[in-house]
C-alpha cells in the first residue's frame, strides 16, 4: 500500500512540475509604486511615487491598469486617476506577464476619456514589478506624450 501511495505522490509531483509557473499578481488588485516619466516637448517630466493598480480578469487574458494621481504635463493644475482597461496580457515561461495594446481610449472621470488615446502600450508585470511604456495621444491637440513607468509592489 505504501508503495502505491509513494508512486501516486511521485506522479502528482511530476504533473505539477510540468505546469506553467504559479503567480500571485493575478489575485486581487496589487498596487505598485514607482516612477513615471512623460516626454513633454522634448523634456522628461518625472513623477515619483506614482501608484498603479492592476486587476486581471477571471480568464487572465486581459488586465485593467489604473494610474493614480498622474499628470501628463507639468503645467496641469490637477492630477487625474486614469484607467487603461482590458489590456491584453499573456503569461511568459518565466512567470512574468507580457502586456501589450494599442488604440485604447482610457477611462477617467467616470467614463471614457476620449481627449486622450493610448497607443503602443507594452510592458511586463511580475509578482513584484511593473514596467511599461505607452504613448498618451491628445486627440484634440494631436500631440503624443511618450510615457514610461517602472514600479515595485
| Residue showing cell 501628463 | 72
Selection from 116, 115, 60, 51 nearest residue 87 by Cα: 60
40 binds other proteins (CB under 8 A): no
41 binds other proteins (CB under 8 A): no
Shortest distance, CB of residue 30 to other proteins, whole angstroms? 19
34 and 133 Cβ atoms separated by less than 8 Å:
no
Q: Which long-range contacts (CB under 8 A, 24 or more apart) does 118-124 make?
A: 118/84, 119/144, 121/84, 121/87, 122/98, 123/98, 123/99, 123/149, 124/92, 124/96, 124/97, 124/98, 124/99
80 binds other proteins (CB under 8 A): yes
| Binder of other proteins out of 78, 93, 94, 142 (CB under 8 A) | 78
Q: Which three cell numbers stand for residue 75?
A: 503645467
Nearer to other proteins, 105 or 153 (CB): 105
Whole-angstrom distance, CA of residue 63 vs CA of residue 107: 14
Shortest distance, CB of residue 17 to other proteins, whole angstroms? 44
Nearer to other proteins, 113 or 126 (CB): 113
Stretch that binds other proteins, among 57-65, 79-87, 92-100, 144-152 (CB under 8 A): 79-87
- At 52, give phi and psi (nearest 5°): -135, 130
77 binds other proteins (CB under 8 A): yes
Shortest distance, CB of residue 82 to other proteins, whole angstroms? 7
Residues of this chain that bind other proteins (CB under 8 A): 69, 72, 76-82, 108-113, 115, 138, 140
Amino acid at each position: 500500500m505504501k508503495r502505491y501511495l509513494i508512486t501516486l505522490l511521485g506522479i502528482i509531483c511530476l504533473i505539477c512540475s510540468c505546469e506553467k509557473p504559479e503567480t500571485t499578481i493575478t489575485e486581487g488588485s496589487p498596487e505598485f509604486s514607482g516612477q513615471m516619466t512623460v516626454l513633454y516637448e522634448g523634456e522628461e517630466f518625472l513623477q515619483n511615487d506614482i501608484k498603479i493598480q492592476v486587476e486581471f480578469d477571471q480568464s487572465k487574458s486581459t488586465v485593467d491598469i489604473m494610474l493614480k494621481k498622474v499628470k501628463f504635463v507639468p503645467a496641469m493644475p490637477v492630477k487625474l486617476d486614469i484607467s487603461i482597461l482590458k489590456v491584453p496580457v499573456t503569461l511568459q515561461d518565466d512567470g512574468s506577464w507580457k502586456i501589450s495594446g494599442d488604440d485604447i481610449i482610457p477611462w477617467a472621470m467616470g467614463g471614457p476619456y476620449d481627449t486622450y488615446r493610448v497607443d503602443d502600450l507594452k510592458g511586463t508585470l511580475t509578482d513584484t514589478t511593473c514596467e511599461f511604456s505607452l504613448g498618451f495621444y491628445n486627440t484634440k491637440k494631436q500631440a503624443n506624450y511618450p510615457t514610461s513607468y517602472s514600479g515595485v509592489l
